[in-house]
Amino acid sequence: MITVLLVDDHPVVIEGLRKLLDTAGDIDVTGSANDAASALTQAQALKPHVILLDLRMPGATGIQTTRRLREQGYAGAVIVLTSYGDQAYVTQALEAGADGYLLKSTPSEQLITAIREASHGRRQLSPELLDGVLSEIGDLARERTAREFALNEEDLEILRRTSQGASNRAIAMGMDISEVAVKKRLALIYQKLGASDRASAVAVAIRRGLI
């Protein structure tokens, strides 16, 4: 049996989730809590395989609670179950140590499947949140690559405009800098990327995900 701790400050939500999970056959709701302090106590006492955790609760947020659970050594899966799909919340929850972030609109069967998957160490995310997470991962990768080549935002903008076929004069006018500055900056960009000309610089930038 997969043991689950339900954490939500609304008793009706707890009761609804309990009834739903009872239908799964292989999931046992071993406890519930209505705030962060109770969640931490219950997690230590019950050591459930999975904790379903609301985002907004009295005492501490689900993100803060997740971080404290990890600090106190809880090794099971934490799934934030909330109505809030803001990308910032998703990122903060995952960084705090959550194994999943699901919206309360998640269909019943998908929620049950997510709990099963999480109990085996597989991360869970509502499909509608996936694009935002992938976009953020892409942004982080782009930032790391830019730092690797010592390229700043102005360099990347020049590269973007170059890839669109803009001349040095057009780039200068569009960025409100001198044409001489653009020429010098491009020469430095070529050097940093190990490129010999505009075409090869753009090719390297595209291949490395910079533009």
Helix axes 198-207, 153-163, angle to 10 degrees: 110
The per-residue pLDDT for range 10-54, each reduced to its tens digit, is: 999 999 999 999 999 999 999 999 999 999 999 999 999 999 999
Same domain, 19 and 116: yes
**Residue 134 resides in a domain:** no
Scanning the chain, the segments in alpha helix (DSSP H) are 11-22, 36-46, 62-71, 87-96, 108-119, 127-148, 153-163, 168-175, 179-193, 198-207
The number of domains in the chain is: 2
Structural domain of residue 153, as residue ranges? 149-207
In-domain check, residue 82: yes
- pLDDT exceeds 70 at position 195: yes
pLDDT digits (tens, 9 = 90+) for 157-194: 998 899 888 999 999 999 999 999 999 999 999 988 88
Asked whether residue 36 falls in the same domain as residue 112, the answer is yes
- In eight-state DSSP terms, residue 149 is T
Q: Write the CB contacts of 67 (distance below 8 Å, at least 6 apart in sequence).
A: 96, 97
- Integer Cα distance of 207 and 166 in angstroms: 20
- Domain identity same for 121 and 153: no
We report the CATH number of the domain holding residue 90 as 3.40.50.2300
Domain boundary among 128, 162, 190: 128
Helix (H) or strand (E) holding 27: strand 27-33
Q: What is the DSSP annotation of 60-111?
A: S-HHHHHHHHHHTT--SEEEEEES---HHHHHHHHHHT-SEEEETTS-HHHH
Band of residue 129 on the pLDDT scale cut at 50, 70, 90: low
Among residues of the chain, what percentage have pLDDT more than 70? 92
Q: Do 16 and 54 fall into the same domain?
A: yes
Least confident of 47-61, 86-100, 127-141: 127-141
Question: Can you give the pTM of this predicted structure?
Answer: 0.63
Nearest Cα residue to 144 out of 210, 94, 204? 210
| Residue 183 CB partners (closer than 8 Å, separation 6+) | 168
Residue 197 belongs to domain with CATH number: 1.10.10.10
